[in-house]
Homo-oligomer: A and B are copies of this chain.
Amino acid sequence: MSKASLDSSVPVIADAATLRPTIDVARRAGKVIGLVPTMGALHAGHISLVEASRRECGLTVVSIFVNPTQFGPGEDFNRYPRTLQADLEMLSGRDDCLVFAPWAEHMYAHGHVTRVELDGPALPWEGRFRPGHFSGVATIVLKLFNLVGPDRAYFGQKDYQQSVLVRRMAADLDVPIRIEVCPTVREPDGLALSSRNRYLSADERERALSISRSLRLAATLVRDGVREASAIVAQMRAMLTQAGLRIDYVAVADRDTLAPVTTINGPVVALIAAHVGGTRLIDNELIG
């Protein structure tokens, strides 16, 4: 579909050269600029970020870009859902929003050689199972920060490790921005909303509930006084395995460094990545 032919009540800009002057007009009018970076396939989780931005900002820029550099070889870049018309319909009626949907060849021009790398909290968990993923994320997020120049940017807690790294990157590189992390939106039965949920069959979707259930189990165990992380992880793994999931990792980790915790003596985060059939899902819960 040509972007010019899209039917949208929200302005759509595909070209970085047009984006900047448009945002400058709003900025000069004294508006606070919010950015919600997405890969499209919008769901209620994304909309909660958009609404958080709209409450605090005069102009909300929703970027929609399936960023190739954050997908590894063999991952789902090619089949990742691209639903721009439906995305625009979900945003319609919000006249304080603007969609930035750039072309890949504009975002990564011929000769592009620069990337942002993080150590520390980027290394474990997703960093180990998806080498290069966070470098791709950090690089595209920084590019969007520079293109939009937002005062605030909104990320979902669903991608917990990502949210830690985006905060870290913004602080380390002195980006003048406030990073807001909004709660995970869930289906009534607990499944965390994800653009990848649409890959699930009915049976897989049922089995995927073991992810949020095992996170709630972890929270319950901690509330009941269990302090040994390995005991909690073992019970979580058992629940996931029972449901037929293939586990990448189950972790109880420090909320900032993401280092694994041995004894739980304060706030931690429980993290899961697991495959349900051919679909890889992640989820997490703040505990304590």
List residues of chain A with CB under 8 Å of any chain B CB: 16, 20, 109, 111-122, 138-139, 142-143, 146-147, 149, 168-169, 171-176, 256
16 further interface pairs, Cβ-Cβ under 8 Å (given A109-B172, A116-B117): A20-B176, A109-B171, A111-B120, A113-B119, A113-B120, A113-B121, A114-B116, A114-B118, A114-B138, A114-B172, A115-B116, A115-B119, A116-B173, A139-B173, A146-B174, A146-B175
CA distance A117 to B122 in the complex (A): 15
Copies in the complex: 2
B176 with A112: CB separation less than 8 A: no
CA distance A121 to B113 in the complex (A): 8
Q: Note all chain B residues with C-beta closer than 8 A to A146.
A: 173-176
CA distance A174 to B175 in the complex (A): 13
A143 with B113: CB separation less than 8 A: no
Q: Note all chain B residues with C-beta closer than 8 A to A175.
A: 146
Smallest CB separation, A169 vs chain B (Å): 5
CA distance A117 to B114 in the complex (A): 6
**A–B Cβ pairs within 8 angstroms, 15 of them:** A113-B122, A113-B168, A114-B116, A114-B169, A114-B172, A114-B173, A115-B116, A115-B117, A116-B173, A142-B173, A143-B172, A146-B175, A146-B176, A147-B174, A149-B176
